[in-house]
Structure 1
Amino acid sequence: MKHAILLLSLSLVLTNCNIYQKPAPEAGVSQRLAKQRKAHISDLNYTLSIIVPEDKDEPIDGHSIIRFNLNSRTTTYLDFKADDQQLLQLIINEDTIPSPVIENEHIQLHKSSLIKGANTVQVKYILGDGALNRNTDYFYALFVPDRARTAIPCFDQPDIKGTFEVKMDLPEGWTGVANGQATTKQATEGRIQLEFATSQPISTYLWAFTAGQYQFDSVNWKDKTIGLFHMVDDSTKYNRNIEEVFRQTLASLDWLEDYTDFNYPFDTYNLVAIPSFQFGGMEHPGATYYRSEKLFLDENPTRNEELARANLIAHETAHMWFGDLVTMPWFDEVWLKEVFANYMADKITEPWFPEMNHQLRFLLAHFPAAYAVDRTAGTNPIGQQLKNLQNAGTLYGGIIYHKSPIVMKQLEKMAGEAQLQQGIREYVKTNAFSNASWNNLIACIDKYTETDLKVWSNAWVFEAGRPIIHFEPSAEEKTIWQLNQVAEHPELASPKTYWPQAINIIQKDSIRLEYEMFDASINLDTDPEELNTLFLADEKGYGLVRLTAPQINYWLNNSHMVEDELLRGRIVINLYENFLDGSIHPDKFLNYLLESIKKEINPLMLSQYANQLQTVFWQFIPETSWDTLSAKIENELWVLVETQQTIANKKTLFRLWSNISMSEDANEQLAQILTGKYNIEGITLSDNDKIRIISQLSIKEYQDSKELQAETVELLNSQHNKEKLSFMLPSLSPNAADRDAFFLSLSKIENRSKEAWVQSALANLHHPLRTNHSVHYLPTTLQLLEEIQQTGDIFFPIGWLGSSFGKHSSEEAYNVAHRFLNNHPNYPEHLKLKILQNIDMTQRAYTIKEKYY
């Protein structure tokens, strides 16, 4: 009997010891864990209190109170990617948990301490610094897509929305902003205490709090104050831009309220302009972050730069409804909020630029960038799979931001503009402050249209790649021509995949033919071999159209005769894709681009020709031909710079000339322009222009570049830009050992904190004039990629690879990546795709050079 009692007692002790030892979920936030929590948790509220020290290297202390309802008494987990030493105290419903631990990036909330109904969890901890972007005089939290858990214990998933309130204890002279309205400010013993009201229900990736030595400005809109927090130290630049920034913000808010028939959904609206912010913008309710340089443009901006700012402001404002008010359930549909924001931004900004051809702008803004990914073996569908939120950042890229707007444009045509708006209004109203998927949207739109959208949706949203569109005689009747679609990468698409779309063709005397290609093959009513046949003659048709050799030659020599700017845009895109497909000699294509530049007056088209010319020159022309060819091109371009009357076009041509020119005379002239000894009429150099010029002169080994570097730092107006150039200087050194040491320093996370600066420096290291040396950086570049993805923000892995591989054109560089992937057969699929995307141009470059030279 004593033995039985002893065994029972021992069993109870072991049971009590093990109640906290239930195996934790896998690291990150798995879809399985997210679904379990969503099924049990509701009525969630977070209160965050932080104490920010004056020294940016000192830790930030945090205290969170998390209140939520459980529909049953069940063990659940908070997400917290931190060390045990950062977790200082855990109290669950007044039950203090002894020696709390973090396991697999989670804190267990055991059911023995929880109750059915209302629960309160208190956590004291040291905030993780990785997502706090701390600087000497400011910091900002940036949590998209899954980085809230790296700083704060939380349920880090988009479909458990909660209200969020913040209290900040700050150094004297600082101010701050968060998702809710500021309610209390007081000063105590050289410190500032701020409190912010509770936000509306939002997802954790939308949490925002930032503080620093910000300046503040505001305007009134309806019953709200629209604020702008900034650190711009160039008052002239600030004053030149601020009125337009506010005007575009208010106009965007007005338009979106009208279009959605739903009032602005949040209590407050602030813009926060942050120097060298990682993204163009990030749509936190109440505290939308912007890269300061994107809002406050340099003097004499190009029309493209003005349009880019307008679209950025409209895009981030649209997110207040699409993403923030209505949020995707899981980050596999992150594209849904982005396609809405792009679609709305295009509509909002079109009236602001009445002189612009907006069909052409849409074509050039989205098709080249979408094709740049979709033509590669690493392409992905718009709708991707995501098993764990820790990989959500890798979903971002050209497909989400550029292919999805093209798909939305097709949807608008199929459903009808008015019917689409009705569906969107219902979608917003039905799912306000909640979550909704693409299928929910399609269901809303389906009510207002007779078109079956499911087949179309499956192909465009869930299949990878693009179609190759080609024509050939019918197998049954040789006099009948057929237009066929096949997958460019059959191994990436489902068998028998085709992309339903309307194909517009112009032929002969401007006869326009439109075919509804809702099959893999259709019969044509015309002979598509005619020399002047123009395929995809609108801003909707999508794919690689393989032209015949006579058609290619015809358009290389006659495209300037086409008066319609949209059609000229289609021609240059079609020819470029055929060039990359290996069908055009680089010399012929370069000559076509140069001749087109001489004749073009449309600023959008001129920019497109200029961008392609730089790519072809540096990557597809043999290195042995650079000097001779550059001497010819730079002279012709300089004549255009001096004679061009339009300031925006003059600036585009000047940037192209300074990029391509290599002669000693050109370098000397560029140095005189930099120092103000020679002025180009109508062009005032900005800080960014000066940094660009000194970088080019240094890389091209101008004899006085070292002295000029120091002089340029002093010429810069902004302290931020002075620091940026100083950071980049080692990457500009003529000494290879200095550049090697700088590259090695990037292996330390603290040297990568300014990601935009790092990408600029990498571009210097890997300039085409230096790739023979920098190719040996590429193995380390790949070895660091997983760490870059885990520690950097969402666009940094793409930027890290693109700035490194982007200008390489040798088989050696391609083989580095090829060997790496062969040696790592179990490498994460999402990162493997990014590598394949970024080495595609390298492979095309060396194979095309091998073919033609």
Structure 2
Amino acid sequence: MPGENLTRSEAAARAGAVSADSYRVQLDLRGDTTFSSITTLKFSASADQTFVDLIGSVNSILLNGEPVDLSAHADSRIHLTGLKAENELVVDATCSFMNTGEGMHKFVDPVDGETYLYTQFEVADARRVFAVFEQPDLKAEYTFEVTAPSHWKVFSNSPTPEPTPVDDTSSLWEFTPTEKISSYLTAIVAGPYEGSESSLTSSDGRTIPLGVYCRASLAEHLDADEVINITKAGFGFFENEYGHPYPFRKYDQIFVPEFNAGAMENAGAVTITESYVFRSRATGAMIERRAITILHELAHMWFGDLVTMRWWNDLWLNESFAEFMSHLAADEATRWDQAWQTFLSSEKSWAMEADQLASTHPVVSSVTDLEEVWANFDGITYGKGASVLKQLVAYVGRTEFMTGLSEYFSKHSWGNTELSDLLVELEKASDRDLSEWSTLWLEESGVTLARPVITAQGDTMTELVIRQELGNAPRLRPHRMGVGLYDVVDNRLVLRKRVELDVAGEETVVTELAGEKIADIVLLNDGDLAYTKIRLDERSLETAIKHIDTFDDQLARTLLLSAAWDMCRDAELSATSFTELGLRAIETENHPTALRVLLMSVSLAATIYSSPDNRENLIVKVADELFAIADRAEPGSEIQFQVALEAARRAKSDGQLDRLENWLEGKDLPNGFELDTDGRWTVLQGLSAGGRIDEARIEAELAKDSTATGMESAWRARASIPTPEAKEAAFSALIEGGLPNMQQRSALFGFQAGDASVLAPFFPRYLDALSGVWEKQTYEMAQQLATRMFTPSIIGMGTDVEAGLNAWLEEHPDAAPALRRIIIEHGDATRRALAAQTVDSAHNS
């Protein structure tokens, strides 16, 4: 990746020297490994020189009609001198198709041999497709002309034109100019995509065409009507809340193969991972996540696309805003009316875990260069930012918040902004000074902790104090917080009393609860108003472990489980105790996302945070109970479906693996549980990790499912085989590179599976390979490897993981900051696991 970085200071200097007017981009996509790209860029300049970004091979350069020596293209930049007030640059280049999900990604469908292309440009990969000023604040109009096979469909930001034949097999699509947008929001999607079309009327009376598409071989599984219904609900909600009509001329959503993220907010041409096209039964959590993702990208059309951050330090403004608004829309405008429970289970917990790492950063961070941008696509940018926006809405008022937004959109349409531009409008609408709020929540990192301190006389609570601790925050923060008292009544946990108050400083006395009978559970932050860690007192924790399955209030139950999981991660609750609590909760968890997160947490507690001496027994116990829950569950229910698949992933003992073998034969399945195509792969992967099947059996299954998903699943199964030979083959394939992005990701998940004794020898080799991987591979592929080839199961199992990580950091002081950050985070995870293992060992001694 050398030479492809861009610093904030360079971007600011270039923005001060040039102003982009328009691009005409001519692409010929008929090549095998490369494609022709001719860019005509018109721009004004107030300086003599600048540079244009391009990753590719340059054939010719013309500046104002004069040829420029090809040596001007070096290190992914075309250096230009002798600029005039108005300039025209023409760059004829040859660029490469990618298989990493960056730039122009090319995928050949193994089912029918058809080719599918799509672009992914965030953060800075438009330069892999055409010559460009690659920064968000040099907006321009883009006119794309695309030559491709005639039987393809071609999508871009502008409405799709009728193609003109070029020859017997090819056609030309000439798109009209886009609105004024940033380069990372442009898009080309091409191939024989199939789908459905609809339309809606926007708030200003325009007819907005809608399209939903996917690969031809998946079209039978595309529930386009559901996607369109969610989209229409989102349009109505956002236009009403923002007081501003949809800004673009059409809205296509294309489900594309081998996509690295959930989706991308290309203006009017959203790309979405085809994992959301369900060829097998999907969990309720996945179905809900798709809905929220659809709404998230739609929210971006206003916040991010119409009005765009000036530089990537305000990335959070894009992502946090879309995250907040997507959950708000889901909760109020769709059938997913428990979206804030989803947010607590998933996004907020992700945020708080990221905010406790040594690599934590403020929501608004400096972001000095592009490499730092990639590293900040994290739980803080998404989840914490959305959490504090939720608080901000409560602070300034919902109506005032939306009024400020409407004015913000009107004032800054098609422009670039900074945080201050938004705060000005919110202050004006609400008549509140937000400077202190911004400092506390956006400019300082870390998360505080709130702990209940109860003084009692007999069975009466004489005083309840909320004690705040710094955690890893620089200072205590004020909170609006609910406190709930819950009792076991007729074997149900029911709310007796709830109060809401302001919490500030080290100690806050909850005067309203003095004299109350001691509750079975005292729950701080009841209602989930505050962004803070919470703790449970001893009685509350004991009650929860015995009665978590009897909670009437689902949000309170999720909050309690989140608190218990945080206590386990902080070595205040043993992994054994947490698994007991979690397993009891699983059987009655009716919220799909909360169930998914709970299953993951129980798994991590058993496999990473448990005492090494007791781990084998705990893993078998957890899997036994998962099989039993699946057997007891309502036939065909969501709980049965998720738990049965998790049991397959966690199978360890001979008896458990024997049962999985039977499942593949259609025998001994839980009543009502059906093993479909993807379910079979999950079972095969479990058997593979358990050492029950070999590569020949995997290849036989692949022959039955020779799809892209089948190929990815087969890689995971192969890499899961717990033998030195299988791990060596996976390790070599991964380090050498060349696998498509999704196959690499699947192989990495498989590589992590298996006994520590088999994986331990690869740890020093992983560390040795990191620098080379980072230098040779693209950012997406390198960070995948650096993150997922680390195997947490070896922590505490005889390998001094922490020493190895520390030594690497000492020996590589000049490594890329993003890579160092990954290793630092592995160190955090290691220390946390070791502390938790010590507590679990004491619990079981």
| TM-score normalised by the chain length of structure 2 | 0.88
Work out the CA distance in 1 between the residues paired with 2:412 and 2:549. 50
Equivalence for 1:253: 235
Amino acid paired to 2:221: K
SS of match in other structure, 1:259: helix
CA distance 1:335–1:779, change in 2 (3 Å)? farther
1:174 aligns with 2:149: no
Partner letter of residue 146 of structure 2? M
Distance 1:426 1:701, change over 3 A: same
Partner of 2:599: helix, strand, or coil? helix
1:87 is matched by which residue type in structure 2? V
Q: Which residue matches 1:120? A: 88
Contact 1:233 1:719 in 2 (8 A): no
Q: Indicate conservation of the 8 Å contact 2:718/2:750, yes or no.
A: no
Paired residue for 2:43?
A: 68
Q: State percent identity of aligned pairs.
A: 20
Query: 2:261: which partner in 1?
Result: 279
Which residue is 2:542 aligned to?
A: 553
Alpha-carbon separation, structure 2, partners of 1:175 and 1:606:
40
Q: Is the 8 A contact 1:379 1:837 kept in 2?
A: no
In the TM superposition, 1:686-835 aligns within 5 A as 686-702=676-692, 704-716=693-705, 719-751=707-739, 753-754=740-741, 756-767=742-753, 769-782=754-767, 783-784=769-770, 787-788=773-774, 791-792=777-778, 797=783, 800-802=786-788, 804-810=790-796, 812-835=800-823
C-alpha spacing 1:107/1:508, structure 2 compared with 1 (3 Å): closer
Q: How does 1:414-813 map to 2 (within 5 A)?
A: 414-470=395-451, 483-489=466-472, 493=474, 497-507=475-485, 510-519=496-505, 521-525=507-511, 532-645=521-634, 647-677=637-667, 679-702=669-692, 704-716=693-705, 719-751=707-739, 753-754=740-741, 756-767=742-753, 769-782=754-767, 783-784=769-770, 787-788=773-774, 791-792=777-778, 797=783, 800-802=786-788, 804-810=790-796, 812-813=800-801
Name which of structure 1's ranges 741-750 and 325-334 shifts more when overlaid on structure 2.
741-750
Alignment check: 8 A CA contact 2:324 2:386 kept: yes
- CA shift, 1:217, in A, is 3.0
Return the letter of the residue paired with 2:123: P
- Secondary structure at the residue paired with 1:381? coil
The answer to whether the aligner puts 1:268 opposite 2:250 as a matched pair is yes
| 1:301 equivalenced with 2:282 (yes/no) | yes
Distance 1:795 1:489, change over 3 A: farther
1:231 counterpart residue number:
215
Shift of 1:800: 4.5
Whole-angstrom distance in 2 between the partners of 1:275 and 1:723: 13
Distance 1:182 1:276 in 2: 24
AA in 2 matched with 1:642? D
Find the aligned partners of 2:335 and 2:68 in 1 and give their Cα distance.
64
1:140 aligns to what SS in structure 2? strand
CA contact (8 A) 2:96 2:128 kept: yes
1:123 CA drift (Å): 0.9
Give 3-state SS (helix, strand or coil) of 2:73's partner.
coil
CA contact (8 A) 2:267 2:305 kept: yes
Indicate the residue corresponding to 1:314 in structure 2.
295
The one-letter amino acid paired with 1:290 is I
Please tell me whether the aligned partners of residues 307 and 417 of structure 2 are also in contact (alpha carbons under 8 angstroms): yes
Letter of the aligned partner of 2:471 in structure 1? E
The residue aligned with 1:19 is: none
Contact 2:716-2:748 at 8 Å conserved across structures = no
How many residues are matched?
A: 803
> Do the aligned partners of 1:326 and 1:432 also contact (CA within 8 Å) in 2?
yes
Change in 2 beyond 3 A, CA 1:103/1:355: closer
| Offset of residue 725 of structure 1 | 3.1
Cα shift at 1:824: 2.2
Cα drift, residue 798 of structure 1: 5.9
Contact 2:234/2:333 (CA < 8 Å) preserved in 1? no
Partner secondary structure for residue 220 of structure 1: strand
Change (3 A) 1:519 1:790: farther
> How much has 1:675 moved relative to structure 2?
4.2
Render the CA deviation track for 1:104-140: whole Å, top value 9, x for unaligned.
4322221x2x222x31111111124452222331222
Does the aligned pair in 1 maintain the 2:630–2:644 contact within 8 Å?
yes
Q: Which residue of 1 aligns with 2:198?
A: 219
* Of 37, 41, 44, the match for 2:18: 41
TM superposition score normalised by structure 1 = 0.88
- The alpha carbon displacement at 1:380 in A equals 1.8
Superposition deviation, residue 154 in structure 1: 1.0
Cα separation, 2, equivalents of 1:789 and 1:250 = 45
Map Cα deviations across residues 525-566 of structure 1 (whole Å, 9 max, x no partner): 367997632111122222223444454334333444542111
Shift of 1:833: 2.8
Q: Residue in 2 aligned with 1:401?
A: 382
Distance 1:515 1:589, change over 3 A: same
**Residue aligned with 1:384, SS:** coil
Q: Could you tell me which of 245, 248, 271 is aligned with 1:289?
A: 271
Other-structure match for 2:493: none
C-alpha distance in structure 2 between counterparts of 1:826 and 1:711, whole Å: 47
Q: CA deviation at 1:789?
A: 8.6
Q: Once the 2 structures are TM-superposed, how far is the Cα of residue 376 of structure 1 from its aligned partner?
A: 1.9
2:800 match: secondary structure: helix
Is 1:206 the equivalent of 2:177?
Answer: no
Segment of structure 1 superposing worse, 615-624 or 367-376: 615-624
Superposed CA offset, 1:401-436 (max 9, x none): 211111111011101111111111111111111112
SS at match of 2:163: strand
Distance 1:481 1:307 in 2: 38
Contact 1:271 1:290 (8 Å CA) reproduced: yes
Report the secondary structure of 1:363's partner residue: helix
Distance across 2 between alignment mates of 1:738 and 1:507: 54
Q: Which one is further off, 789-798 or 335-344?
A: 789-798
Where in structure 2 are there 5+ consecutive unaligned residues? 109-114, 202-206, 456-461, 488-495
- Matched to 2:107, the amino acid is N
Whether the aligned pair in 2 keeps the contact of 1:694 and 1:708 (CA below 8 Å) is: no
Deviations 1:713-751 (A, max 9, x none): 2343x6222322344454134542232132122233422
Deviates more, 1:687-696 or 1:520-529: 520-529
For the residues of structure 1 that align with 2:537 and 2:557, how far apart are their CA atoms?
18
Mapped to 1, the partners of 2:807 and 2:145 lie a distance apart of 51
- Does the Cα contact within 8 Å between 2:280 and 2:678 map onto a contact in 1? no
RMSD: 2.9
Q: Is the 8 A contact 1:87 1:101 kept in 2?
A: no
Q: Post-superposition shift, 1:844?
A: 1.9
- Matching residue within 64, 70, 84 for 1:93: 64
Distance 1:316 1:151, change over 3 A: same
Change (3 A) 1:787 1:165: farther
Q: CA deviation at 1:186?
A: 2.4
Cα distance change of structure 1 residues 679 and 530 upon mapping to structure 2, 3 Å threshold: closer
**Once the 2 structures are TM-superposed, how far is the Cα of residue 604 of structure 1 from its aligned partner?**
4.4
Q: CA deviation at 1:231?
A: 0.7
Structure 1 residues 331 and 128, CA gap change in structure 2 (3 angstroms): farther
Structure 2 counterpart SS, 1:233? helix
Q: Residue type of the partner of 2:8?
A: Q
C-alpha distance in structure 1 between counterparts of 2:279 and 2:771, whole Å: 34
Residue pair 2:521, 2:539 contacting (<8 A) in 1 also: no
Q: Counterpart of 2:137 in 1: which secondary structure?
A: coil
